[in-house]
Structure 1
Amino acid sequence: MSELEDYAPPRVGPDPARIQQNLLEEQVELWWFREPRKALLCDCVSVLLILGCGLGGIVLLSTTTSLSSEWRLGTGSALCLLALAILLKQLMSSAVQDMNCVRSRRRIDMLKSGGLSDVLVVLLTGVSLLICGAVLLHVSLTYHMPKPGQALNDMYISGVVLLVGGGVTVSGVGLYSAVVFLLEMTGQGQRLRERAIGIFTISGRMRPARRETTSSLAHLI
């Protein structure tokens, strides 16, 4: 009997680190914070778009005159509506996160900052800017206005600015999507998510006895 016990494979206990990671994976509240870098990047882009579209719309609306009332009112209103839509999306995501009413991982990945909804909102904003800029350029280069000097110049400059802003936004979305896709294909995305979860992991286990106590306490801190 003792010989059989000697040849029996050693019993391996459960890995506490793996158990702790599995418990953290089940916490719905942490699903919103799995990718902090993407969230920070998308938040900064959203703030820039809100400020840019909002301030641009306000400038156009405040400088509306009788000679250029139509295109300034239309373009300014469109920019203000775009800024309001982006702000509404951010507020909606924050409200859903605070209420903790969504328990599906797929929906959280879509609604969280840096998720699919952010990409779609930014992409639609860029396309809208491109359309507005193209319309202004077409009108300024095709039709004659009562006083084509200053009014035509302002429309042309506004169209160029909107085209550049929309092109940069759409190109940024394409580059962002390509980088995220490559990271997911190479496995870097999964490692970044595990590292983000590791931030919430606090281990109180002491190191093996062969290490000094001070070293274990330093690792714990």
Structure 2
Amino acid sequence: MSELEDYSPPRGHLHPDPARIQQNLLEEQVELWWFSEPRKSLLCYCASVALILGCGLGGVGLLSTTTSLSSEWRLGTGTALCLLALAILLKQLLSSAVQDMNCVRSRRRINMLKSGGLSDVLIMLITGASLLICGAVLLDVALSYHMPKPGKALNDMYISGVVMLVGGSFTVLAVGIYAAVVFLLERSGPGQRQWERTVGIFSISGQMQARRETASSLARLI
């Protein structure tokens, strides 16, 4: 016991916290800032893909069925849907290009450009609002014709307006709920969540560090 007491560290000596040192080192890695919130990034990426497929397929479908009787509204609506899908796709490609080039070193800009950041929220909100406006316009035009048998063109316009109105409402509502949840989580405890993300992503490193500390302690006891 006396030998162990001689080799024991003094009580007043403060050991550096390995977890804190590891967290500080990870905080300085710019490449890891793009992947700091994997669940949020995956959710927004899947939502972007769904919007691209929905708007793109809807726009192509309207453009491919354009006839002389319904050329104006099909051409305009189909073009608007294709442009919305292209805008979302360009945002995703831009984020990937900036990430690959590693030309942005600001945490604020990375948090804005990465998947799940502010840019995703804004472009999805704009997409939802555009769908709402287009759907409302189509419904207004279709309902303005007070005819007993409006015909297939007006029926297609009415159905397209309803689909776009429902899709736009769902998108705006989902973005609003997402923004509210993220805001509440940010207010609840950003430090604790950052620690949980760090431990979750680098759990293997933490386990190795724990094993080294255990082996070191056993060595000192022997």
**Residue 74 of structure 2 is aligned with which of 65, 72, 75?**
72
Alpha-carbon distance, 1:16 to partner: 1.6
Counterpart contact for 1:54–1:83, Cα < 8 Å: yes
Q: Distance in 2 between matches of 1:212 and 1:16?
A: 18
C-alpha displacement at 1:196, in angstroms?
2.2
Contact 1:184-1:190 at 8 Å conserved across structures: no
In 2, Cα distance between equivalents of 1:212 and 1:75:
72
Letter of the 2:13 partner, please give it. Answer: R
> Where in structure 2 are there 5+ consecutive unaligned residues?
1-9
Answering whether residue 188 of structure 2 is matched by residue 186 of structure 1, we say yes
Q: 1:170 aligns with which of 169, 172, 182?
A: 172
AA partner of residue 192 (structure 2): R
**Per-residue deviation, 1:144:** 6.7
Distance 1:209 1:50, change over 3 A: closer
- Residue of structure 2 equivalent to 1:94: 96
How high is the TM-score relative to the length of structure 2?
0.86
Give yes or no for contact 1:56–1:76 (8 Å, CA) kept in 2: yes
Letter in 1 for 2:180: A
- Return the alpha-carbon distance in structure 1 between the equivalents of residues 84 and 135 of structure 2: 14
Unaligned runs of 5+ in 1: 1-7, 214-221
Percent identity, aligned pairs only, is 73
SS in 2 for 1:12: coil
State the 1:185 CA deviation. 1.5
- Output one character per residue of 1:26-65: Cα deviation in whole Å (capped at 9) or x when no partner: 1000000111110000000000000000000000000001
Q: Which moved more, 1:136-145 or 1:204-213?
A: 204-213
Q: Which residue of 1 aligns with 2:5?
A: none
How far off is 1:153 after superposition?
0.5
- Give the secondary structure class of the aligned counterpart of 1:65: coil
**Root-mean-square deviation (Å):** 2.1
1:25-174 alignment to 2 at 5 Å? 25-143=27-145, 148-174=150-176
Question: In the alignment, is the contact (CA less than 8 A) between 1:35 and 1:192 conserved in 2?
Answer: no
Cα offset, 1:200, TM superposition: 2.7
Aligned residues: 204
What's the offset of the Cα at 1:14? 1.1
SS at match of 1:11: coil
Shift in CA distance, 212/14, structure 1 to aligned 2, threshold 3 Å = closer
